[in-house]
Amino acid sequence: MNFIPSYIRLFQNGELKKRAQLALDVLKSCKSCPRNCEVNRTEDELGICCSGLLPIVSSYTSHFGEEPVLSGTRGAGNIFFGNCNLRCIFCQNFEISQNWKAEKINEVSHGKLADIMIELQNKKCHNIGLVSPTHFSAQILKSISLAVEKGLRLPIIYNTNGYDSVEMLKLYDDVIDIYLPDFKYGTNQSAKTYSNADNYFDYTRKAIKEMFRQVGDELIYDGDIVVRGLIIRHLVLPNGLAETEKVFQFIAEELSTNVHISLMSQYFPTNKAHTNILIDRPLRKSEYEKAIELMNKYGLHNGWIQEMESGENYKPYFNDDRANPFKN
């Protein structure tokens, strides 16, 4: 790999270590996400995310299920963090995101997390994927600093639910090369109903704007693998509950029509989806088709779509009739 991650310069001039300490200081009265619980996590006080001082690593692996430009041939080096700052009733990973008592045993030291990053690099993964990092963003920054000292040289992916603090994201400027946020909802009301976050749309807009400011709308490649840029994921929900049009309108009008979109079709009812009749069924082909049409409507011409039947097999997206695999 010829690409040199931006955090190398920050490590060399001492800025990375400085930011890591600033991030940890936030935990004394935690505002590391928009929940602003203000608990002292350095003393293991628990807020909404039910997470204390140490990061929780549920698993880590060479992962081949991301977008092809991230997984490549050797996989993304994904680290899956336990717990979450959202409470999505349809969460497909609820066993680790909403089971904090069981996940407590998976706490690791900052040094161990750094060692995991090095282990994934030694496995020849293309990158380090931080999956659900938001509520551990302070701790992760400390571990990245330690990992760089041990020889980490891979691009880092910030794979987030989008409900992030702009102040924390600013500490990641030139640390993260690839932002991979979800943009779950186009209204606060839907977010409140289905993820227990009544200000999700407001804060996610600000967070993604900050990510966009840092890396722009162009994807930088090293060979066939993306090493820098922004890819926004959007999961289409039944009955239009994700308010997809408002999400795409925001991206087109306030970011750029060049931004890459990963339009996801793999919704299925799980966790507590049975408690709400509007979301307690699989996604229909017509609903996914409608989302593709909305991408066209707002001139969003970069990204990937998925096979409706499998929710996998990403296909490059083009802003013309080739975009819709369901057209004859």
Per-residue pLDDT of 38-90, as tens digits, reads 999 999 999 999 999 999 999 999 999 999 999 999 999 999 999 999 999 99
Q: Give the span between the Cα atoms of 227 and 244, in whole angstroms.
A: 28
Mean per-residue pLDDT for 125-130? 98
Q: Which residue has the tokens 């967070």?
A: 207
Tokens of 120: 């994934």
Digit-coded pLDDT (tens) for 6-26:
999 999 999 999 999 999 999
Specify the pLDDT at position 88: 95
Specify the pLDDT at position 133: 97
Query: Over 90: is that where the pLDDT of 324 sits?
Result: no
Specify the pLDDT at position 314: 75
Query: Over 70: is that where the pLDDT of 2 sits?
Result: yes
Q: How far is CA 326 from CA 18, 58, 235, 292, 323, in A?
A: 52, 37, 18, 10, 9
Specify the pLDDT at position 304: 95
Mean per-residue pLDDT for 140-147? 98
Mean per-residue pLDDT for 279-296? 96
C-beta separation of 188 from 194 below 8 A: no
Mean per-residue pLDDT for 88-94? 91
Query: Over 90: is that where the pLDDT of 317 sits?
Result: no
Q: How far is CA 318 from CA 20, 27, 110, in A?
A: 40, 43, 42
Share of the chain above pLDDT 70, in %: 95
Which domains occur in the chain, in start order?
Answer: 7-323 (3.20.20.70)
Mean per-residue pLDDT for 152-165? 98
Specify the pLDDT at position 325: 38
Digit-coded pLDDT (tens) for 167-210:
999 999 999 999 999 999 999 999 999 999 999 999 999 999 99
323 against 161, higher pLDDT: 161
C-beta separation of 7 from 16 below 8 A: yes
